[in-house]
Structure 1
Amino acid sequence: MPAIPGATPDALDAALADPIEVARRLDVDPERGLTAADAATRLAAHGPNELRSAGGTPFWRRVVAQVADPLILLLIAAIAVSLIAWLVEGAEGWPIDAIVIFGIIVLNAVLGLVQESRAERAVAALAVMTRARSTVLRDGTLRTVPSAELVPGDLLVLAEGDQVGADARVVRATSLQVAEAALTGESTTVEKHPETLTERVPLGDRHDMVFKGTAVSRGTGRAIVTATGMSTEMGAIATLLDETVAEPTPLQVEVGHLGRTLGRIVIGIAIVVMLTVALVQGVRTPSEWVTVLLLGVSLAVAAVPEGLPAILSLVLALGVQRMARRNAVVKTLSSVETLGSASVICTDKTGTLTTNQMTIQRIVTASGTVDLGGVGYAPVGRATVKGRPLEDGPLRTEVGIVLGAGSLANDAQLAEREGEWRIEGDPTEAAFLVAARKLEGTTVEAARYDRVGEVPFSSERKMMSTAHRHERGDLVVLSKGAPDVLLEHCTRIRIGPDIVPLDAVRRARALADAEALSEEAFRTIGVAYRPAPELGGGDGGPDVTGFDESAEHDLVYAGVVGIIDPPRPEVRPAIAEARAAGIRVVMITGDHPATAARIARDLGIIDEDGIALPGARLDGMDDRQLRDAVRTVSVFARVAPQHKLRIVDALQAEGLIVAMTGDGVNDAPALKSADIGIAMGITGTEVTKEAANMVLADDDFATIVHAVREGRGIFDDIRKFLRYLLYSNMGEVLTVFLGVVFAGALGFTAASEGGLVLPLVATQILWINLVTDSGPALAMGVDPEIDDVMARPPRGLHDRAIDLGMWIGIGVTGLVIAVITLLTMDMFLPGGIVPGGTDTFDVARTAGFTTLVFAGLFTAFNARSATSSAFRGLFTNRWLWGAVALAVVLQVAVVSLPPLQVAFGTAPLDGVHWLVCAGMASVVLWVEELRKLGILLATRRRADGAGARFRAA
């Protein structure tokens, strides 16, 4: 196979190779670049410098996904059984049951398709994000070409403001700094220079490489393209994202489990009831067999809450709307509840917990330390000393000189546009401009100077200097840089209005001040100056001649500033609330370990002696060791995208439900792998937003906590209507089953006119489903919060929506409903357990039918909480009251109107019947109230006992 022109051999790591060797391997002249013909050949061989787009999911697959849910499959089976029974009966009329259930399935599928119509376009968004133009040297001439046409071997020419079009090896750099936050999570710009690395280092520390999708924030340079398209670091993330499998949400898992469980129960119920009827009463004619089969089908349909999928979708959709009003935009319905189940929130630091805006927070001079308030680029904040406002005096003078000089020796720009403060240039330099505006009078004085000369910053010198002419004509040299380097050029120090010699004691103290700031994870920059009359005096010329490094001597040291990307002010209380709710917060960042640990301590993620685990340590860990680490470590620093993905996977392997937040491209794979990915809407890249399940429109971490409460409330509502539906449905099933078994003891057999004796007919069972499984159940799905959902820990991964306690409650409540229904029928019949009745079996069955409906409506109020009284917040849900009132009106109609009496086998009831039905139905409410009272008293006794033991201890 012929070699591909310009292909970098696998054995060559460009970051560890000399630029000359890279140029030789790629067959390019480092002074003239490629020829146009060579570039065209390589483009044909390598293909465009673009990222591969993932194909969309076909529409038919989306439809199949909507109906592949176990609950939906159960309903499809119910349709089949209903159609069989309809055919056995002679196929007369329309198969109403099958049509209604089919309509529910279609409604659910439409809701799901509408809400989840956005296909995953994360990799495609990566390609869109990186469309740009690049300047290259070809045939010795500068040319601007589409970045998609870059090829290995191209010589990139970089300048401030350029987007880097491909991964490239730096061959020349002058004050070159690149913003790589979107790729690495590093908040500060990265200085680039051509010196070859001696060992493999993390992505954020490869100073001799520039990467596709990053941006030049300062300086100039040249670099040889070493990788394009999917071979770049951005392409590696695209591949990782493409290969990452999105796990089903806990709610999807739970609904699937519920569907399978109900399926087994339904089949068992249908078989047991039909066999019981056949054995107890005997089935002799084909007509009776049809009746038994229809009864079995009706009970199966009754046992399945067929409205559950549609109600679930509607409840989740309403939750989506409420969360959107709180600036949390959810893209998939099932993700709404997932966040409420989260036991861990993994969060990026830069731009998520912090502002991604470098800020000067501390200034240290010879006279003391000043704290500067305010966060970000808005020049709002005040200077304080030990909590008190900074007053005029020596310290105020020194701080003014530090910030004024730092603002003048500066290439950044700060401007307010449409009410928002924005910067251009290096964020660290911009921090001086912001800080100077906060100190009254500083910017006024700085405006009187004009820059007339510059010695730029370089990685070798670690400092920069500028020459400025005052409006009076005086010249001054201003310098800033690494404090230890700057102090080597200083012989004096400013103390208030005086300039005194910088002796060994004062020099040691200045170095100690800078070191103390570094230990607190501040980035430190020292500032110095000196009058420079020798540079040109007051001739008024625009420039000075001969201004170079030789002017950087005999400087007056002014002080040092501490710069940091500060935490968002709203984050700390949000993290405290999350922890109180049993949710652990884990920081995963590409930033320096010391900086990450400092921010984590400030926010309360770790305690004072907590540390950050660097990504280099993760490389040496296998999966078991990583799982051990994630149990205790809450801060991971200097991590690569694959590290984030491994950390999320390790937490999930521990049985935790993981939410992952982020804003950069490097966060996208982990967001996709997490149980729920949360992207920042303002600072987040398009890639992150597409890979996430939820987008924060305000980039506010506190919004996540609000969303957690909303998600927990939604799951509570799901449990409420599940509890309600299954309480009622179990009551129907047990009523029929026990009514058939004890028909003789209850007086049913004696009162009937021969044939099968059934406490309810199939149409009445289906009517109960229609009345109770629709309006009241939907109203339960939007019920206000009764219990404090944030006062309990998150539910575990294997915790069931219907746990053992709820199943017991379903059985007990169903039994109570069945007993009071059957006793009501017995009360109106002659003989039986309760003698004295004189009504016909049709009237008694209608009374039992009505009691069963009313009992279901009383149960709706019981089901609002498993522990709190039904009378707590009794009138807060007007939708529930409306649904109950409508159900009562419909029940009166089906009992009283002749056409409906014929259709549903009912008989008229008088006032006494109605009162007895309502009174008997209310028993289910009082039984449940007694149970909840018992729970309350037991809880108080346990609390009192614990308090007594504590006092005794």
Structure 2
Amino acid sequence: MSPEPSTTEIPDASVLDARDVARRLGTDLASGLSSAEAAARLERDGANELEPPERIPAWRKVLAQLRDPLVVLLLVAIAVSFVAWVVEGAHGAPFEVIVIAVIVAANALLGYAQEARAEAAVAALADMSAAHATVVRDGEPRSVPASEVVVGDLLVLGEGDTVAADARLVSAAALRVAEASLTGESEPVLKDPAPLPAPTSLGDRLCLVFSGTAVAQGSGRAVVTATGMRTEMGHVADLLATTVEEPTPLQREISGVGKMLGTVVVVIAVVVVATILVTSHVRTLDGLVTVLLLGVSLAVAAVPEGLPAILSVVLALGVQRLARRGAIVKKLSSVETLGSATVICSDKTGTLTRSEMTVERVVTASGEVVLTGEGYSPEGQVRVVDDDAPLTPETRPDLFREVAIVLGGGSLANDSSLRRDGDRWVAQGDPTEVAFHVAERKLGTTESRAARFERRGTVPFTSERKLMSTLEADSAPEAADHALVTKGAPDVLLGRCTHQRVGGSVVPLDDAARERVLAEVDRLSDMALRTLAVAYRPLRELPADLDDGALAALERELVYVGTVGIIDPPRPEAATAIAEAHRAGIRVVMITGDHPRTAGRIAGDLGIVEPGARTLTGTELDEVAARGPDAEAQAVRDVSVYARVAPRHKIEIVDLLQADGETVAMTGDGVNDAPALKSADIGVAMGITGTEVSKQSATMILADDNFATIVDAVREGRGIFDNIRKFLRFLLSSNMGEVATVFFGVVLAGVIGLASDDGTLVLPLLATQILWINLLTDTGPALAMGVDPATEDMMARRPRRRDERVIDGRMWRDVLVVGAVMGAVSLLAIDLVLPGGLVEASGAVAGAGTLDAARTAAFTVLVLAQLFNAFAARSETVSAFHGLLANRWLWGATILAVVLQVLVVHVPALGEAFGTVPLTGTQWLVCVALASAVLWVTELRKLFLRAADRRPARA
């Protein structure tokens, strides 16, 4: 019968003895819980499952897509346009209503589809949990669904198992647990049931195992201390569920543009109506309705209804280009955000490194060698450190023999394997052990070693011994019949050694030699290398019983051979990408759960920081935070390498950087990265090594796990941002030209000869003509500008500030100037065609001098002016003639627009629909000349800006 628990709350089981934890939880370490007690606890605490996120009805998700200010403005435009169409007699189809409605619906459906992908994030966390677990109940091991594991259960852990719940180890035999997905630790962690002297970070709690991690080697038993949402995995799920996904800078800016345009629209409508009522003598109800409809039409014309659709299409084209480069973007607006990133926070393991342990150094009594090449492909050289020459049996026979014994011994005392599968190498087992196989193949002694030795017994690695030994039958004629080969922690192994291998001789290992070996180990550790030593013992007589205990007793009087230094090497392309990021003014920050010394070494090698720069651990960050927010904010500004961090620390770092005005991109591949990926301005997950949770939480996935792809994405994002500015400048200035034409055409009707003799209100443009202009120029040319090639080295400039507007003051001045010029030349065309006014045109230009001819001329000038504006708007300062032929899509859209405008003017049926009459050749030339004024005025302004930029700055 289970003892009565004293409490079910264990504040920190890592600092308590396992027996004390079991007593508090009412667990018998021999028989586990009873079935009845387990059922009672399951009823009390609930299933060992992660809570699913609250489901939001589909209709609420769709409505959420319609809350954007610009979309709300378009909905108002739909309503107003529909009312105007009804009041005017409901003739024909309400084309403007249909077009705007389709745009709004398409954007809402697109947003809904994007958000649906994110809902699986917490569900993916649950999928990582073990389907079944082995527990001891009623004194017998039994397999139960993982959801039925309860606090106090005695877990039985074996190689390949997924840990079902957080638990305190009771016993462990060579137990190694892969915790990279939770802590960021690059290699499986060797577990030790001994209690810790004090609380420590998650990655250093060696006596605990955590839900969702995997047993890579060995076996053990553990008492469950937390289930479901109370586990460390549950805390991550809670962070993920409660983390607010901030809108991207582009979303914030477009939202601001929508609000601003809403205000402008209301002002325009009120001013136009008031001005007309004051300047015109409107006396009838029909006249009043006409004036009101005109104000409404102008207000609707001021809204670039094509903006959301064009923005989505341009971003989608950018997404396709990135996909071809190996970057999969789930959220369209995130493409532009990458271009404005000022900080990239990156995980280390698997992101900046290969996640493949590699032997880098071997030190023996005869010298030291360095091994080139990285990863599991055995391509590389073994070179002598002293003279940087290749190591061969002829040039350095003693050193070669010692290195061969070290690498061969490490491959013998080893349970991993390395095999070739076609063009690639496949590794199985502990990554550190695989590293010995790879290194031995580089030396070229694998086949001779395999032919000489045959395993007869094994003493497995345990956390207490920190050693692994194998008994090998030795077929070499000059050798003893058997050899005990041992590898392990250098300080422990040296305690079992009495002799040392020096070349072809075995000499006593005196105190001076021991000190030299330990000094070499310390030097390798200072290089952030993990160290393992290799020794052996020739055996001519074997004990009668070859069980583990008898073989372990032979681990004495060993002959020390040498020590290896192992590291998870950086990706070769990562250093180049980081240098390119620095050139672009982007700071790279490493955030990892790995050891501080290792993190600092990798960061220095990659150029993230200068070698020896400060590394901050999660515990130290907590200490800094305790001193106040200012101290924490300053630390985040100064430090670019963080080690031994928990998931909450990653979010804190991201939040602090964002609060400091940075636009943060966060990369990662593990469960521990998921909350920070969601919290960052843009989350980037690894596609190959990344967990499903990180992929679902991120907004972009690197299909090739290549950090360099992020830099390509930044370059693409900057180009997209430039193109967004181009078509925004074009759309807003073109719409402003329409407003200026109608507004001043009414206000100045008497001046330009547009006023009627009876005082009836005469409009410079018809509503159908305004609609045609919007459909003709707000789609093709604007879309073509969205794929405009870059005109400068975008990675040579600093990223834009978080508070920098997409539409800044200088762009607004451009918009107003260009809009005014468009309005002026359009009204001048009316003045030239109609008799009277400021300019008395010749008969060739005036033609019949009818109102329809004048409107057709103004209509045509406005269309052509907007097409000239498309070329002028390609850059704020660079001449339109620079790279004039670079964008074939813009030329195609322009030619198509000209052809359609000619058809509208000269095809009788279209002329009747749009209120146009044919123009003469001379009138067409005049229209082209007037419209080109937009280009010449813009060119003069750019010339002035370029000259101003070259002037020396004044104090």
TM bucket normalised to smaller:
over 0.9
- On the 8 A contact 1:651/1:658 being kept in 2, the answer is yes
Partner of 2:203: 204
Once the two structures are superposed, residues 905-927 of structure 1 have per-residue CA deviations (whole angstroms, 9 ceiling, x without a partner) of 22221000001111221121122
Partner of 2:936: 926
Partner of 2:20: 21
Measured in 2, the distance between the counterparts of 1:178 and 1:718 equals 49
Match of 1:527 among 522, 534, 557: 534
Measured in 2, the distance between the counterparts of 1:757 and 1:110 equals 42
Q: How has the CA–CA distance of structure 1 residues 531 and 295 changed in structure 2, closer, same or farther, with 3 Å as cutoff?
A: same
Measured in 1, the distance between the counterparts of 2:340 and 2:5 equals 51
TM-aligned CA deviation for residue 795 of structure 1: 1.8
Q: How has the CA–CA distance of structure 1 residues 162 and 265 changed in structure 2, closer, same or farther, with 3 Å as cutoff?
A: same
TM-aligned CA deviation for residue 5 of structure 1: 8.8
Secondary structure at the counterpart of residue 920 of structure 1: helix
Q: How has the CA–CA distance of structure 1 residues 934 and 498 changed in structure 2, closer, same or farther, with 3 Å as cutoff?
A: farther
Is 2:241 the partner of 1:269? no
The aligned runs of 1:336-735 (5 Å cut-off) are 336-386=335-385, 387-392=388-393, 393=396, 394-417=398-421, 419-472=423-476, 474-535=481-542, 547-620=550-623, 621=625, 622-735=628-741
Secondary structure at the counterpart of residue 541 of structure 2: helix
- On the 8 A contact 1:535/1:545 being kept in 2, the answer is no
Q: How has the CA–CA distance of structure 1 residues 676 and 229 changed in structure 2, closer, same or farther, with 3 Å as cutoff?
A: same
TM-score, with length taken from structure 2? 0.94
Partner of 2:152: 153
TM-aligned CA deviation for residue 586 of structure 1: 0.8
Deviates more, 1:400-409 or 1:888-897: 888-897
Partner of 2:821: 816
Secondary structure at the counterpart of residue 350 of structure 2: helix
Secondary structure at the counterpart of residue 618 of structure 1: helix
- On the 8 A contact 2:364/2:562 being kept in 1, the answer is yes
Partner of 2:792: 787
Measured in 1, the distance between the counterparts of 2:592 and 2:613 equals 16
Q: How large is the RMSD of aligned CA atoms in angstroms?
A: 2.4
Partner of 1:218: 217
- On the 8 A contact 1:676/1:694 being kept in 2, the answer is yes
Measured in 2, the distance between the counterparts of 1:624 and 1:144 equals 52
Is 2:902 the partner of 1:892? yes
Match of 1:738 among 737, 744, 768: 744
- On the 8 A contact 1:455/1:547 being kept in 2, the answer is no
TM-aligned CA deviation for residue 101 of structure 1: 2.0
TM-aligned CA deviation for residue 36 of structure 1: 2.8
Measured in 2, the distance between the counterparts of 1:875 and 1:755 equals 47
> What amino acid does structure 2 have at the position aligned with 1:593?
P
TM-aligned CA deviation for residue 780 of structure 1: 1.6
> What amino acid does structure 2 have at the position aligned with 1:590?
G
TM-aligned CA deviation for residue 450 of structure 1: 1.3
Is 2:119 the partner of 1:120? yes
> What amino acid does structure 2 have at the position aligned with 1:24?
R
List 4+ stretches of structure 1 deviating above 6 A: 3-7
Match of 1:773 among 774, 778, 796: 778
Secondary structure at the counterpart of residue 186 of structure 1: coil
Q: How has the CA–CA distance of structure 1 residues 528 and 11 changed in structure 2, closer, same or farther, with 3 Å as cutoff?
A: closer
Measured in 1, the distance between the counterparts of 2:288 and 2:900 equals 31
- On the 8 A contact 2:377/2:438 being kept in 1, the answer is yes
Partner of 2:41: 42
TM-aligned CA deviation for residue 419 of structure 1: 4.8
Gapped runs of 5+ residues in structure 2?
Answer: none
Measured in 1, the distance between the counterparts of 2:422 and 2:730 equals 52
TM-aligned CA deviation for residue 788 of structure 1: 2.8
- On the 8 A contact 1:295/1:761 being kept in 2, the answer is no
TM-aligned CA deviation for residue 193 of structure 1: 1.9
TM-aligned CA deviation for residue 4 of structure 1: 14
Measured in 2, the distance between the counterparts of 1:413 and 1:808 equals 68
**Sequence identity (%):** 60
Partner of 2:78: 79
Once the two structures are superposed, residues 119-159 of structure 1 have per-residue CA deviations (whole angstroms, 9 ceiling, x without a partner) of 42111111111133222222222222222221222211222
Deviates more, 1:89-98 or 1:76-85: 89-98
TM-aligned CA deviation for residue 762 of structure 1: 2.2
> What amino acid does structure 2 have at the position aligned with 1:594?
R
Measured in 1, the distance between the counterparts of 2:255 and 2:548 equals 79
Deviates more, 1:451-460 or 1:404-413: 451-460
Secondary structure at the counterpart of residue 631 of structure 1: helix
Q: How has the CA–CA distance of structure 1 residues 451 and 542 changed in structure 2, closer, same or farther, with 3 Å as cutoff?
A: farther
Measured in 1, the distance between the counterparts of 2:230 and 2:682 equals 29
Once the two structures are superposed, residues 752-777 of structure 1 have per-residue CA deviations (whole angstroms, 9 ceiling, x without a partner) of 77522332222222221111112111
> What amino acid does structure 2 have at the position aligned with 1:529?
Y
Q: How has the CA–CA distance of structure 1 residues 105 and 545 changed in structure 2, closer, same or farther, with 3 Å as cutoff?
A: closer
Q: How has the CA–CA distance of structure 1 residues 422 and 214 changed in structure 2, closer, same or farther, with 3 Å as cutoff?
A: farther
Q: How has the CA–CA distance of structure 1 residues 545 and 83 changed in structure 2, closer, same or farther, with 3 Å as cutoff?
A: closer
> What amino acid does structure 2 have at the position aligned with 1:245?
V
Secondary structure at the counterpart of residue 65 of structure 2: helix
Match of 1:882 among 886, 892, 908: 892
Measured in 2, the distance between the counterparts of 1:545 and 1:922 equals 92
Partner of 2:911: 901
> What amino acid does structure 2 have at the position aligned with 1:19?
A
Q: How has the CA–CA distance of structure 1 residues 94 and 818 changed in structure 2, closer, same or farther, with 3 Å as cutoff?
A: same
Measured in 2, the distance between the counterparts of 1:369 and 1:907 equals 91
- On the 8 A contact 1:345/1:660 being kept in 2, the answer is yes
Partner of 1:872: 882
> What amino acid does structure 2 have at the position aligned with 1:834?
V
TM-aligned CA deviation for residue 90 of structure 1: 4.1
Q: How has the CA–CA distance of structure 1 residues 544 and 759 changed in structure 2, closer, same or farther, with 3 Å as cutoff?
A: closer
Secondary structure at the counterpart of residue 466 of structure 1: strand
TM-aligned CA deviation for residue 233 of structure 1: 1.1
Is 2:233 the partner of 1:234? yes
Secondary structure at the counterpart of residue 351 of structure 1: coil
Measured in 2, the distance between the counterparts of 1:753 and 1:788 equals 61
Partner of 2:804: 799
- On the 8 A contact 1:348/1:588 being kept in 2, the answer is yes
TM-aligned CA deviation for residue 542 of structure 1: 11
TM-aligned CA deviation for residue 420 of structure 1: 4.3
> What amino acid does structure 2 have at the position aligned with 1:399?
V
TM-aligned CA deviation for residue 116 of structure 1: 4.2
Q: How has the CA–CA distance of structure 1 residues 785 and 215 changed in structure 2, closer, same or farther, with 3 Å as cutoff?
A: same
TM-aligned CA deviation for residue 12 of structure 1: 4.4
How many residues align structurally?
A: 938
> What amino acid does structure 1 have at the position aligned with 2:418?
L
Deviates more, 1:97-106 or 1:829-838: 829-838
Deviates more, 1:884-893 or 1:283-292: 283-292
> What amino acid does structure 1 have at the position aligned with 2:828?
L
- On the 8 A contact 2:168/2:209 being kept in 1, the answer is yes
Secondary structure at the counterpart of residue 264 of structure 2: helix
Deviates more, 1:630-639 or 1:617-626: 617-626
Measured in 2, the distance between the counterparts of 1:323 and 1:727 equals 30
